[in-house]
Each structure stands twice: as structure tokens, then as C-alpha cells.
């Protein structure tokens, strides 16, 4: 009777685990992989997708094309019942709960981004974890260049042309390098933007960049980025963020409308709630990749804490969360699962890194391979050659190579494709003195104060100025209910303030659906602004 092998997660670890298990066990196992997306995204290429050197569809490959003989279920994992050996998922348009049984379970759900410890960062920072993140960042950068080209307000132009990346590890350095190249190669299309007006900043809490590489390569990377006009701020963390400002732990304020966070990795809520033993926010596993306390539950990849030697304690004693290690972990897991089915001893995971590489953009990079240190153009070439070889699927390799060739021969496109719309309701943070909106601005939504306070100045129908100080629980911007398409008030934050913003269409639908809200806002508009009731 074949074994039911269930794999949770379609990233590096899950994909390669499914391939290796199917290859080893063949007809002895029914292998199923559950993923929220039906494609595999090669994360090291996301900065290049964000910069436009690779088009988004060419950086991904359908999971079904990569996993011959493996059943792929597009669904979201909800929970695991280890006693009954079933995983509950939500699937389909109606998100029906479905139980999927297993004999052996492999948890490879990676990590999520958690920026909640820094006020405002989760609400105002862009991330670089998924394909949509890269697409959104590219559209966002082009939007800031478009805004800077036409605005007549110097402070708005300064904020629009300041681009900040938080984190100087591999992801942060590669992101800022590609981001700077996108901006530099796009400026020729924006005659009202001077290169001297563009500011690109990297903020890193540690005292060096690329801490995973030898210090000499970190120094080279820092100097190379600075030579390209990128500011590197070391030894500083993020204190708070708003839509127009990033405040650092030493009190430094950076006026910016672009914050890219490459920090904040954390276990997914599903992993946290599984009930598996955890250490340092990851699933604790034995050296053979079995989850501690279980005989048929395995884990690998970013969500697992994998010891590389007995009695592991120091950071270097555990497998790092890299694609290179995930692939080797998958091979070890498949071999051990076969051994478990045959009643043979399980082998400990052991692997020595072959090195690490990072692209700095503009055809420069750094690399340490088999103890050899490289920098500059040779390291960049090696980076590209390595990752092309690492890409799963020949068609993906060809498409990426074609993208790189076209990018080298032609101008970078500044076409701004329609991206995902922001949520109809979202939190927005403001610092003391920030304008929320001015009289004459387009009326686009309603605001409810969560914390802090604002001052509202409004000119009534009789020409009398109304000045209101509003605090938590108060709201403003309701004039759109009376047909206001341009603001008649000016609102500014009196202190650091957090509001819930509801866009016009969502607000009007909500009020129309609840008669009690219609009556409330009619009375409110008449009392505060002297606007006649709609029913009058």
C-alpha cells in the first residue's frame, strides 16, 4: 500500500522535497503538495523583477510543470490534527474547509514578514517576499518619479525622490542596487528631475553590510554602493514610520514616501499554532529532520531550526535559511523518509556551504565560493551564471536569459502597469505637523482616529471658520456623503496620529447598507458643518 506523503509549502524547500521524495519512492508514495499559489517563484530574482530587468511572469514557473507525478493542491493551510493525521485547508472560490489525510507530513511553509514591532512600518513599508511585492515596488517607484516630475511643492518632490531600504543583508543590498539602477536608467524620461535630487538610503541596525560574507567583501559592497550615490546608515534601527517620514532609533528623520523593508522574518501563524516544539521562532527538528517528538512529521527550509552538529547552540551551528541549504535538506529528507519506510537508520543532515554571492546592481557583485573571494564584474557574472543554473525548468532559464539580453541592449521601460489596489480600509500614520489633507484637495475618503489627535479647520456656509480638535473615536472627511468632491477643510496632525482611512466607495456602500449610519451621519453633518439633511 502506497504511503500518503503531504508537503505543506511551494517554496524552495517544499518544491525540492516533493521532487526528491517522488524520485526516490516512485510508486511507493502518493505525493501531494499544498501551496497558496500555483507557481514557484525564484526569490533571488525578485529585486530584478522590481527593477524591470526581468518581467514578472518570467521569474516564475508553474508548480505542475516542475512536479511530474506530484498532485498539486492550490489551497491555504488552516490547521493540523496530528492525532488524526489530517490537515485542514481552505480551497476553492468559496474557501470550503477540506481535510487532507497523510501518513507522513512535511512542513516547509517558510516564514512571513512581521513588522509590527516598529510603529507604522507594517502599514507604510513595501516588502520583498513575493512576486506581487516586486511588481508593486516597480510600479511604486515609477509613480514617485511621475509625481516628482509634475509637483510644484518642493517638500513633496523631496519626499517623492527619497527611496529608503531597511536592511543590508542579501535581500536589502540586492534590492537597493537594482532600485538605484532602475532610477538612474529612467531619469532620462523625466526632464524635471535632476540626478542630484534623488536620494537613496540604506538603513542597517548592524555595524556592517552583508554580515553573512567576509568583512572585506562587506567593505567592498559598501564602498561600491556609496560610489553610486547610495547612503549607508549603519548602527541605526527603525523607530517609527509614516507615509512621508522614516524615524530612526537615534532620532534621525528621513523625509520619504518609499520605504522598502527587507527585515522582519517571522514564523507564519499556521506554524505558530501547530503545537510543534519551537526554538527561536522555528520548528525544532532533530538532525535527521524529524520534528521533535514525532515519528512521521518532518520539517525543513526557513521554518525549521536544523542543527548541523550534536549539542548545537551557536548561530553557526544551525543550517542557514538559504536556497542552497534547502535543496540539500530536501535530498536528506527524501533519503531518510525512504529509510524510515524500509526500517533502516536515519542519517543526520550534514552539508558545508559552497559559498555565497550577492549582486550590487550596475554589473557589480561580491562572492565567496570555495574559499575564493571575488568582487566587481567577475563576481556579478558568477552570480548570474550560478542562479541561471539553479533555476528549475529549462524554459525558465531561457526566458530569464532572454530578459537579461534585452535589458542589456535596450532602455529600461517606465511603463506603469496597473497593480493591486490598496485596501479600501487601511491604517495610516502621521507625525505631528503632517497635513492629512487641505481645502481644495480631491475628497477621496473618510478618516477615523485610532490614536493621537488632529486639528480641523473648516469654513462654513456663512463664511465663519470652524476649528475643531479631534481625538480617538472622532472622525472627519464625511462631507463626501453630502456630495463633496473637493475638501472644504484642512486637517493636520497635532501629534503622532494613527487613523483608519476608508475610501469613498467603501464608505458610501457601508452607509447605504446600514440605515442607522445614514441617520447618524446626516445628524453629524448638520450639527458640525450646517449641511442640510438629505431627507429634508
CA 487 – CA 495 distance, rounded (Å): 22
Domain ranges of the chain: 3-41+58-111+266-342, 121-262+355-409, 425-529
Please determine, for residue 232, whether its predicted confidence score (pLDDT) is greater than 50: yes
Q: What is the CB neighbour count within 10 angstroms for residue 208?
A: 16
Q: Residue 349 gets which letter from DSSP?
A: P
The fold adopted by the segment(s) 425-529 is: Jelly Rolls (2.60.120)
CA 47 – CA 114 distance, rounded (Å): 20
The fold adopted by the segment(s) 121-262+355-409 is: FAD/NAD(P)-binding domain (3.50.50)
Query: What pTM did the predictor assign?
Result: 0.89
Which superfamily, per CATH, for 3-41+58-111+266-342? FAD/NAD(P)-binding domain (3.50.50.60)
- Cell numbers 514616501: residue: 257
For residue 479, the model assigns a pLDDT of 82
Q: Is 66 helix (H, G, I), strand (E, B) or coil?
A: helix
- Give CA separation, 287 vs 91, 107, 353, in Å: 34, 15, 17
Residue 100 pairs with which residues in a beta bridge? 87
Sheet containing 497-503: which strands, arranged edge to edge?
425-430, 497-503, 445-451, 475-476
Q: What is the CA radius of gyration of the chain?
A: 26
Please determine, for residue 434, whether its predicted confidence score (pLDDT) is greater than 50: yes
Give the model confidence (pLDDT) of 370-391 as tens digits. 889 999 999 999 999 988 887 8
Query: Do 425-529 and 3-41+58-111+266-342 have the same topology in CATH?
Result: no
Please determine, for residue 288, whether its predicted confidence score (pLDDT) is greater than 50: yes
Q: Could you tell me the end-to-end alpha-carbon distance of the chain, in angstroms, rounded to an integer?
A: 76
Give the model confidence (pLDDT) of 303-333 as tens digits. 999 999 888 877 788 999 988 999 999 999 9
For residue 331, the model assigns a pLDDT of 97
User: Which of 223-237, 301-315, 477-491, 522-536 is the most confident on average?
Assistant: 223-237
Give the model confidence (pLDDT) of 436-469 as tens digits. 999 989 888 899 999 999 999 988 767 788 899 9
Q: What percent of the chain has pLDDT over 70?
A: 98
User: Stretch 134-146: mean pLDDT, rounded?
Assistant: 95
Angle between the N-to-C axes of helices 215-227 and 170-186, in degrees from 0 to 180, rounded to the nearest 10: 20
Give the model confidence (pLDDT) of 213-229 as tens digits. 999 999 999 999 999 99
CA 425 – CA 427 distance, rounded (Å): 7
Amino acid at each position: 500500500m502506497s504511503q500518503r506523503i503531504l508537503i505543506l509549502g511551494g517554496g524552495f524547500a517544499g518544491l525540492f522535497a516533493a521532487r526528491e521524495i517522488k524520485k526516490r519512492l516512485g510508486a511507493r508514495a502518493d505525493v501531494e503538495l499544498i501551496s497558496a499559489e500555483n507557481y514557484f517563484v525564484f526569490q533571488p530574482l525578485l529585486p530584478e523583477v522590481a527593477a524591470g530587468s526581468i518581467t514578472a511572469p518570467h521569474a516564475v514557473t508553474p508548480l505542475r510543470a516542475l512536479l511530474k507525478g506530484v498532485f498539486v493542491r492550490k489551497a491555504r493551510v488552516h490547521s493540523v490534527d496530528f492525532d488524526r493525521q489530517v490537515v485542514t485547508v481552505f480551497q476553492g472560490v468559496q474557501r470550503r474547509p477540506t481535510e487532507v489525510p497523510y501518513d507522513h507530513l512535511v512542513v516547509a511553509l517558510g516564514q512571513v514578514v512581521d513588522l509590527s514591532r516598529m510603529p507604522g512600518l507594517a502599514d507604510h513599508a513595501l516588502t520583498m517576499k513575493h512576486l506581487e511585492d516586486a511588481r508593486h515596488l516597480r510600479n511604486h517607484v515609477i509613480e514617485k518619479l511621475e509625481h516628482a516630475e509634475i509637483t510644484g511643492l518642493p517638500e513633496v518632490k523631496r519626499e517623492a525622490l527619497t527611496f529608503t531600504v531597511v536592511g543590508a543583508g542579501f535581500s536589502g543590498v540586492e534590492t537597493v542596487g537594482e532600485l538605484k539602477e532602475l532610477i538612474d536608467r529612467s531619469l532620462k524620461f523625466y526632464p524635471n528631475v535632476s540626478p542630484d535630487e534623488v536620494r537613496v538610503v540604506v538603513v542597517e541596525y548592524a555595524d556592517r553590510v552583508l554580515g553573512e560574507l567576509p568583512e572585506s567583501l562587506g567593505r567592498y559592497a559598501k564602498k561600491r554602493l556609496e560610489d553610486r550615490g547610495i547612503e549607508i546608515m549603519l548602527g541605526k534601527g527603525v523607530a517609527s514610520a509614516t507615509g512621508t517620514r522614516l524615524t530612526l532609533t537615534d532620532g534621525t528623520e528621513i523625509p520619504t514616501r518609499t520605504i522598502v523593508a527587507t527585515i522582519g522574518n517571522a514564523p507564519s501563524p499556521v506554524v505558530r499554532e501547530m503545537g510543534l516544539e519551537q526554538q527561536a521562532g522555528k520548528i525544532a527538528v532533530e538532525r535527521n529532520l524529524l520534528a521533535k517528538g514525532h515519528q512521521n512529521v518532518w520539517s525543513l527550509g526557513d521554518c525549521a531550526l536544523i542543527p548541523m552538529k550534536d549539542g548545537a547552540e551557536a548561530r553557526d551551528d544551525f543550517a542557514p535559511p538559504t536556497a542552497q541549504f534547502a535543496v540539500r535538506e530536501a535530498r536528506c529528507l527524501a533519503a531518510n523518509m525512504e529509510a524510515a519506510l524500509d526500517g533502516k537508520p536515519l542519517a543526520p543532515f550534514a552539508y558545508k556551504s559552497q559559498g555565497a554571492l550577492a549582486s550590487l546592481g550596475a554589473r557589480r557583485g561580491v562572492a565567496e565560493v570555495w574559499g575564493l573571494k571575488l568582487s566587481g564584474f567577475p563576481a556579478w557574472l558568477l552570480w548570474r551564471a550560478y542562479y541561471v543554473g539553479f533555476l528549475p525548468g529549462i524554459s525558465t532559464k531561457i526566458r530569464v536569459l532572454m530578459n537579461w539580453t534585452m535589458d542589456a541592449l535596450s532602455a529600461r521601460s517606465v511603463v506603469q502597469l496597473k497593480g493591486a489596489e490598496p485596501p479600501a480600509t487601511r491604517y495610516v500614520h502621521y507625525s505631528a505637523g503632517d497635513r492629512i489633507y487641505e481645502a481644495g484637495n480631491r475628497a477621496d475618503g473618510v478618516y477615523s482616529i485610532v490614536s493621537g489627535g488632529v486639528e480641523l479647520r473648516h469654513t462654513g456656509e456663512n463664511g465663519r471658520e470652524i476649528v475643531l480638535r479631534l481625538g480617538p473615536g472622532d472622525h472627519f472627511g464625511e462631507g463626501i456623503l453630502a456630495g463633496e468632491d473637493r475638501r472644504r477643510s484642512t486637517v493636520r496632525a497635532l501629534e503622532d496620529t494613527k487613523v483608519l482611512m476608508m475610501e469613498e466607495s467603501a464608505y458610501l456602500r457601508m452607509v447605504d447598507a446600514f440605515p442607522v449610519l445614514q441617520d447618524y451621519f446626516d445628524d453629524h453633518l448638520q450639527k458640525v458643518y450646517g449641511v442640510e439633511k438629505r431627507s429634508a
